[in-house]
């Protein structure tokens, strides 16, 4: 197939309908083959830098490449060198698995080149984003005053929350402001604080209890100590599903404490927030509705492709108060409160339409089905824990919370932490090398742990059985 885009007459980048159509069909075929054949592929595919340099390093070409050849280059050189974060046996980090519907939502947003910054340039996209945000608000049980905006992901959502908290509670004088969180907070909290000009000693890591939840007594003590030293406590970042262990901090108590102490309560629900769709998840997340702001990541547990993050704010007006500016060259886009501009409510002016893929995903599959899938992934993590417990040398370090369990293998008679760590690293490396599954590691209370996190909508019981069997046989084989 020849997919050339020939310049004719005056030079433009225009393509014929026929070549656009053929190229588009070719791309769709490739995506469908990839998605439908995923289970049979290796989960982990990592190339060395030498290999990728040799494959891709070149000067930008003066002359164009025919699209069929470009597509072959993608399929032969790019596609095989991707680890599949959407593979059903991807249990590492927080897996992200979009659906075909979401991918096509992105294709439409991109193909129609929707500019989701201003109402006049995308009224319907703005309305859809407001609708989607309102769904999220109601799923979490936040009040009608709440609003929000879609972002690239949880990191930017946490950064945005810190900006809001700083503006709302401190204004421009923030050199003594104090942020509280636990050692299990996502690193984007530290990074966000740094970006905003806070020193590292302005982010205080409060001790956790034996369930890895923030210790309220320790928090109270830290706040009092800081106040008496002239510092200004202003923000608490709580976990609603910490990255390593899925821990949910005691949200109702934190909400009460923060209200009493005038702290902005931000809840990082980037991983765990959408568990609220499940009855059990909703109970576990009780209190999230009292937060001043919440981070959510539709590209995690709401099954949309990257990138899709969200910040929800209890009082939506804080977004406008914090971010709106009026340059002269944007006089034409002011539409009044009924016709808001999302570019007035966040860091970005030009924005892609992230709402479309979320809206299409939820509308196509329906909430009942998505809710059932979220519940099933929680069940599968619990099943994983049960299976791991049956492995003689396995030790559960933190039991399932939401859909993460952490554990390690401790060979009989071995108590030296370094030896245990090396043993578990070996097992993990061998799992990766097998290509059959991917898990990741972290530390809990100083112990090296392996994590199993189930999020993927296509993961089945047999996948969980396969990965636990694999680890059990590696533990046997590698036992010193």
Ligand X SMILES: Cc1ncc(COP(=O)(O)O)c(C=O)c1O
Contacting ligand X (CB under 6 A), which of 137, 166, 186, 408? 186
Which is nearer to ligand X, 341 or 361 (by Cβ)? 361
List phi, psi (to 5°) of 150: -90, 145
Which is nearer to ligand X, 149 or 243 (by Cβ)? 243
Please, what is the minimum distance in Å from the beta carbon of residue 163 to ligand X? 16
Please, what is the minimum distance in Å from the beta carbon of residue 272 to ligand X? 7
Tokens 């030079």 -> residue: 11
Please, what is the minimum distance in Å from the beta carbon of residue 475 to ligand X? 27
Contacting ligand X (CB under 6 A), which of 94, 163, 254, 284? 94
Which is nearer to ligand X, 188 or 202 (by Cβ)? 188
298 contributes a contact to ligand X by CB under 6 A: no
Maximum Cα interatomic distance, the chain, rounded to a whole number of Å: 80
Question: From residue 360 to residue 379, what is the string marking binding to ligand X with x (rule CB under 6 A)?
Answer: --------------------
Which is nearer to ligand X, 174 or 271 (by Cβ)? 271
Sequence-ordered strand ranges (E) for 98-153: 147-151
Q: Are strands 447-453 and 404-409 parallel, antiparallel or unpaired?
A: antiparallel
Which is nearer to ligand X, 147 or 269 (by Cβ)? 269
Which is nearer to ligand X, 109 or 150 (by Cβ)? 150
Within residues 247-276, the interface with ligand X by CB under 6 A covers: 268, 270-271
Site size toward ligand X, by CB under 6 A: 14
Sequence-ordered strand ranges (E) for 272-423: 293-296, 309-313, 394-401, 404-409
Which is nearer to ligand X, 148 or 340 (by Cβ)? 148
Q: Cα–Cα distance between 462 and 480 in angstroms, integer?
A: 29
What angle separates helix 417-434 from helix 461-478, to the nearest 10 degrees? Answer: 130
Cα 326 from chain centroid? 32
Which is nearer to ligand X, 374 or 387 (by Cβ)? 374
Task: From residue 220, give the alpha-carbon distance in Å to each of 119, 257, 267.
Answer: 45, 8, 18
Tokens of 190: 């530290």
Taking alpha carbons only, the member of 35, 38, 43 closest to residue 435 is 43
Contacting ligand X (CB under 6 A), which of 118, 188, 385, 459? 188
Question: From residue 309 to residue 328, what is the string marking binding to ligand X with x (rule CB under 6 A)?
Answer: x-------------------
Which is nearer to ligand X, 85 or 468 (by Cβ)? 85
Please, what is the minimum distance in Å from the beta carbon of residue 418 to ligand X? 28
Within residues 189-218, the interface with ligand X by CB under 6 A covers: none
Please, what is the minimum distance in Å from the beta carbon of residue 156 to ligand X? 6
List phi, psi (to 5°) of 443: -130, 140
Within residues 60-89, the interface with ligand X by CB under 6 A covers: none
Question: From residue 230 to residue 249, what is the string marking binding to ligand X with x (rule CB under 6 A)?
Answer: -----------x-x------
Buried b (16+ CB within 10 A) or exposed e, 185-224: bbebbbebbeebebeeebbbbbebeeebbbbbebbeebbe
User: Interior CA angle at 281 toward 280 and 287, to 5°?
Assistant: 110
Contacting ligand X (CB under 6 A), which of 106, 129, 297, 344? 297
Within residues 150-169, the interface with ligand X by CB under 6 A covers: 153-155, 158
Q: Cα–Cα distance between 175 and 266 in angstroms, integer?
A: 20
Which is nearer to ligand X, 19 or 160 (by Cβ)? 160
Please, what is the minimum distance in Å from the beta carbon of residue 404 to ligand X? 10
Taking alpha carbons only, the member of 199, 193, 127 closest to residue 356 is 127
Q: Name 460's Cβ contacts closer than 8 Å, sequence gap at least 6.
A: 88, 380
Please, what is the minimum distance in Å from the beta carbon of residue 167 to ligand X? 21
What does the binding site for ligand X look like in residue numbers (CB under 6 A)?
Answer: 94, 153-155, 158, 186, 188, 241, 243, 268, 270-271, 297, 309
């Amino acid at each position: 197939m020849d997919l050339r885009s020939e310049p004719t007459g005056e030079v433009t980048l225009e393509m014929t309908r026929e070549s656009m159509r053929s190229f588009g069909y070719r791309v769709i075929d490739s995506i469908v083959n990839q998605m439908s054949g995923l289970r049979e592929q290796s989960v982990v595919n990592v190339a060395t830098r030498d290999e990728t340099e040799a494959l891709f390093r070149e000067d930008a070409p003066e002359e164009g490449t025919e699209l069929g050849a470009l597509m072959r280059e993608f399929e032969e050189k790019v596609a095989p060198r991707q680890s599949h974060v959407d593979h059903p046996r991807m249990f590492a980090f927080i897996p992200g698995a979009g659906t075909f519907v979401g991918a096509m939502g992105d294709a439409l947003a991109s193909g129609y080149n929707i500019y989701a910054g201003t109402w006049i340039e995308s009224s319907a996209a703005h309305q859809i984003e407001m609708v989607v945000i309102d769904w999220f608000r109601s799923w979490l049980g936040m009040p009608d005053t709440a609003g929000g905006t879609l972002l690239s992901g949880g990191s930017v959502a946490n950064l945005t929350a810190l900006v809001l908290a700083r503006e709302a509670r401190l204004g421009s004088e923030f050199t003594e402001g104090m942020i509280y969180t636990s050692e299990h907070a996502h690193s984007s909290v530290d990074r966000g604080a740094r970006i905003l000009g806070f020193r590292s000693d302005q982010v205080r890591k409060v001790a956790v209890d034996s369930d890895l939840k923030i210790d309220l007594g320790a928090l109270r003590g830290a706040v009092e100590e800081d106040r008496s030293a002239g510092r200004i406590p202003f923000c608490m970042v709580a976990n609603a599903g910490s990255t390593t262990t899925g821990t949910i901090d005691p949200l109702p108590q934190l909400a009460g404490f923060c209200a009493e102490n005038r702290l902005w309560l931000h809840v990082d629900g980037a991983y765990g927030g959408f568990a609220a769709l499940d009855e059990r998840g909703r109970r576990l997340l009780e209190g999230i509705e009292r937060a001043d702001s919440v981070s959510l990541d539709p590209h995690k547990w709401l099954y949309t492709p990257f990138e899709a993050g969200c910040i929800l704010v209890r009082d939506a007006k804080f977004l406008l108060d914090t971010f709106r500016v009026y340059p002269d060259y944007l006089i034409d886009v002011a539409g009044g409160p009924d016709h808001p501009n999302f570019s007035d409510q966040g860091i970005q002016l030009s924005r892609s339409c992230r709402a479309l893929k979320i809206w299409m995903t939820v509308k196509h599959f329906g909430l009942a089905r998505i809710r059932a899938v979220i519940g099933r992934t929680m069940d599968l993590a619990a099943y994983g824990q049960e299976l791991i417990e049956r492995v003689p040398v396995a030790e559960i370090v933190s039991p399932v919370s939401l859909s993460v369990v952490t554990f390690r293998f401790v060979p009989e008679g071995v108590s030296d932490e370094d030896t245990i760590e090396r043993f578990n690293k070996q097992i993990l490396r061998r799992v990766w090398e097998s290509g059959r599954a991917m898990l990741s590691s972290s530390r809990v209370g100083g112990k090296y742990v392996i994590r199993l996190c189930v999020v993927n909508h296509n993961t089945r019981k047999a996948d969980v059985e396969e990965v636990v069997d694999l680890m059990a046989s590696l533990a046997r084989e590698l036992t010193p």
